[in-house]
Amino acid sequence: MTLTRRGAALLAVLLGALPAAFAGADSFSPVRLSIAVAPVARLHKPLRVTVHLSADPGVLDNRSGALRMRVKLATECSGTYQYTPGIVLLDKRLSPQPSTGHGYSGSVSGSGRPTAYGVRTVCAWLESESDQRVFASDQSTQVDVSRACTRAANRYDSERRRPARGAAAIRRKRRILAADRRVARQTCGPGVTL
């Protein structure tokens, strides 16, 4: 099929009228979320999460209100933040908010305390505040709220709080603390606060 001059001109006008959101957007992922969280967590202790996000120019222009990054730790993610039961790890407005016609790049951090053992999913949504419209979501990251990690880290915490009097007791406590810390770090892995 060939285009006439008139058809080509009409096509150019139509393409020129498309919103800027389509001009520079990556057709597969115009808004990208990257979640940084420890793969293992302790029960009832803070679990920190950071979401790095980026968006192509114009993609976030048609929002009806301020944008929020929302993250829950849940057994299963629903389609929206509102209908997903779980522990809130993050619920903050983007600061600064995206500028019209421009790309966006930023990070948002928060934390929450897991309340049950087991493997949980980190459910993340970039939503408009006013109408809960979802601009991006991610459910690809999991965290193991580990009984073994919790037990090892609690043992270390308990020994650290125990008083020691006298030179021999202090030396003994240092040896025990070093061993308990080593076990806790091996059991919990990186990112778990001891």
* Residue ranges of domains in the chain: 20-145, 147-188
Provide the residue-wise pLDDT of the chain in tens; the chain has 194 residues. 444 555 444 444 343 433 333 333 344 679 999 999 999 999 999 999 999 999 999 999 988 889 999 999 999 998 889 999 999 999 999 999 999 999 999 999 999 999 999 999 999 999 999 898 999 999 999 999 999 999 999 999 999 998 988 899 889 999 999 999 999 999 999 888 87
Map residue 54 onto helix, strand or coil.
Answer: strand
- Residues in Cβ contact with 32 at an 8 Å cutoff, skipping those fewer than 6 apart: 53, 54, 55, 136
Q: Which CATH class, in words, describes the domain spanning 20-145?
A: mainly beta
DSSP E strands in 3-157: the ranges are 31-37, 40-41, 47-55, 67-74, 87-93, 104-112, 118-128, 134-145
